[in-house]
Amino acid sequence: MRSNRLFMMVLANLRRSRNHFLLASIGIVVGIATFAFFLSLGLGVRQVVLGKIFPLDKLEVIPKSLEVDVGPIRMGMGRDVLDDEMVAKIKALPGVKAVYPKMKLTVGSIAYGGEALFGTDLRSEIVADGIDPDLMTEEIDRDGYEFADFDAPERLAEEPLVPCTKDEECGKKMYCGPPAGSTVERGGTKAKAKPKPRPKPKPRPKPKTIDAKIPTRTLAPPTAPPGTQATPPKPATSPSPATPKPGASPRPATASAPAIPGASASAQPGSPSPTTPGTGAAPPGTPRTVPRTPTPKAAEPEPEPEPAKVCRHFVPVIVSNHVVELYNGTLRRAHNFPQLNPDAVRGFTFDLIVGESMVLASNKDRVVHDRGMFVGFSDKAIPLGITLPLGYVQRYNVEFGNAEDAQRYHSVIVEVPVKDDVAMVAKGVEDLELQVKDSGAEQAALLIAVFMMVFGLVSAVIVGIAAVNIMHVFFMLVYERQREIGVMRAVGATRGDIGRIILGEAASLGMMAGTAGLLLAVTAASIFDQVSARYVPDFPYKPTTYFDFPWWLIVASLAFSVSFCVLGALLPARRAARMEPARVLSGN
């Protein structure tokens, strides 16, 4: 029996008995609508909860520490950081695809700016951490924005510095500022009401011996043509005979040339060494050894040479959606600020002053004055604060700490592509005396799974009852059509042919009822979303849609519907196939 002719016959039969089938399929339609509606609701909510509130795709591993409460103080025992060796061990665990160390900024810092957004400049103490930019490539790097370590030594070596005097001279998404790595004395540069024009930072020598791995600031020789009247910056470092031993005093006021192999290599020894007016005494190749704490107000006759300004990339900054939710949901109301559209905030710039704090005791005697730019929002960012590419945080921490700080990670994001491997990786992490940070995701996931299972079960019961109804209708139809079935057998239909016709009708009915149920579910979902958008007040993480209809849910709904209809028609089809044609046709 050719399938296309079978299909035509089946459709004709369905048309013929449409009233019976319409009634019989109501249960299936309702059941499938329930199934699709609640499953898609569960999936949609899970997407919000697990994707935004508790991301579960990547585990965060933190050091296991025993904490002892001593009065109001909680004393951490054991280490609270991870080093490169430990990171390598985590990466070696089976099931782990990649590891991305995270580091917290261990020095006070201030963000300043925001007039364009809030109508007034804001000044805020900020909490920051650094994550591997590779982790964010897919999420952030688009529309010309990039979450990358622009000040990484390798990158600085490739991009020659362009001297400038004002922002307009620099390219898009760049500004004119002191060379990377410059620090200025805090007192003289304290951001006041308006930091513009920004205080001129003074170069500071790299006083420490830094491991080659530690990102360093390097000034490549300027590429300004010789005729250009610009003050080229000095090369940051160059090979020097006076290489201090590792672990040398980290903060000499004037240090000898740091031994930074990477930096040294990037100094392009072959290129002509620029000279700086005023520091001409310094022989070419001399590292920047400008005194770190010159007092501008001092009555020294010879003014400190101003470091050249160069075009710099903004420090790319991402913030968590939590921050947006917190701002839009609560904070803005307190200050009567406008509600922010996260997409439009991209490109917003502000001053980032590292080393300065509202907590007076945390103030350093010098600060790094960079400018930051919001490049995007991500749930991988620190929940409250800003997240920078790891290299920046490493350099800031080293700048205000010591060389070892470059590998004192506070946590590691572990990417486990296969969900089933999560338990195994968690076990491996435990064995390394570390722990997986509990985000509450498991409980939330369990809750949603239970919700979906309950409603899945409810819809299965509805569809099951409907299948019984379908069975009843098919038994009736088989009885009504027994003479017709007898004729078909007489003209050559096998038992299988008869069964296929009945089951084909059931499958087609299931397909139609399933489609109708899906349409009903989608319609109900859209009404639900519209009602929510219109009448439900905003709340944190309020989604634009609560539903998710992935392709597999549609396929599963249809398969569910078809299989239950076929299941219901199985016994009637069997009876039809086994009918004795002779008895039916002779009317006995």
Partner 1 sequence: MIRVRGMHKSYRTGKLVTPVLHGVDLEIEDGEMVSIVGPSGSGKSTLLHAIGGLDRDYEGTIEVDGRDLHAMNDVELSAYRNRHVGFVFQTFNLLQHQTCAENVALPSLFARGKQVMSHGQALERAREVLARVDLSDKVDAAPTTLSGGQRQRVAIARALFNEPQLMLCDEPTGNLDSAMGAAIMDLFCRLNREDGITVVIVTHDPRIASATHRRVRVQDGRVLEDEGDDDLAATPRAEAAGEAKAEASADGGDERAEGTAEADDEERRAEG
Binding site for partner 1 (CB under 8 A): 1-2, 4-6, 8-9, 12, 16, 483-484, 486-497, 580-582, 585-588
Phi then psi dihedrals of residue 384, to 5 deg: -135, 105
Q: Least CB distance from residue 480 to partner 1, whole Å? A: 12
For the record, the structure tokens of 444 come out as: 């939330």
Q: Least CB distance from residue 417 to partner 1, whole Å? A: 50
Would you say 461 or 582 has its CB closer to partner 1? 582
**Strand (E) or helix (H) holding 63:** strand 58-63
Prior bond of 197 cis (ω within 30°) = yes
Q: Least CB distance from residue 486 to partner 1, whole Å? A: 7
For the record, the structure tokens of 226 come out as: 């010789």
Q: Least CB distance from residue 479 to partner 1, whole Å? A: 16
d(CA 29, CA 25): 6
Q: Determine what percent of the chain falls in helix, strand and coil, rounding each to the nearest 5.
A: 45, 15, 40
What interhelical angle do 495-535 and 441-480 show, nearest 10? 140
Q: Least CB distance from residue 11 to partner 1, whole Å? A: 12
d(CA 106, CA 355): 10
Residue 117: closest CA among 384, 314, 262, 331: 331
d(CA 435, CA 540): 29
d(CA 269, CA 240): 12
d(CA 223, CA 394): 28
What residue type is 533 in one-letter code?
A
Would you say 159 or 580 has its CB closer to partner 1? 580
SS3 43: helix
Would you say 1 or 524 has its CB closer to partner 1? 1
Burial class (CB in 10 A: 0-12, 13-18, 19+), 506: buried
Would you say 10 or 516 has its CB closer to partner 1? 10
CA distances from 363 to 188, 400, 471 (A): 13, 11, 80
Q: Least CB distance from residue 495 to partner 1, whole Å? A: 5
Would you say 9 or 559 has its CB closer to partner 1? 9
d(CA 307, CA 178): 7
d(CA 442, CA 450): 12
Would you say 5 or 419 has its CB closer to partner 1? 5
Cβ proximity of 351 and 195 under 8 Å: yes
Q: Least CB distance from residue 490 to partner 1, whole Å? A: 5
What residue type is 184 in one-letter code?
V
Would you say 472 or 495 has its CB closer to partner 1? 495
Phi then psi dihedrals of residue 315, to 5 deg: -75, 115
Which residues neighbour 52 within 8 Å (Cβ) at sequence distance 6 or greater?
A: 321, 379, 541
d(CA 118, CA 481): 77
Cβ proximity of 111 and 369 under 8 Å: no
Q: Least CB distance from residue 585 to partner 1, whole Å? A: 6
Would you say 447 or 582 has its CB closer to partner 1? 582
Q: Least CB distance from residue 469 to partner 1, whole Å? A: 24
Would you say 14 or 61 has its CB closer to partner 1? 14
Would you say 13 or 109 has its CB closer to partner 1? 13
Would you say 384 or 490 has its CB closer to partner 1? 490
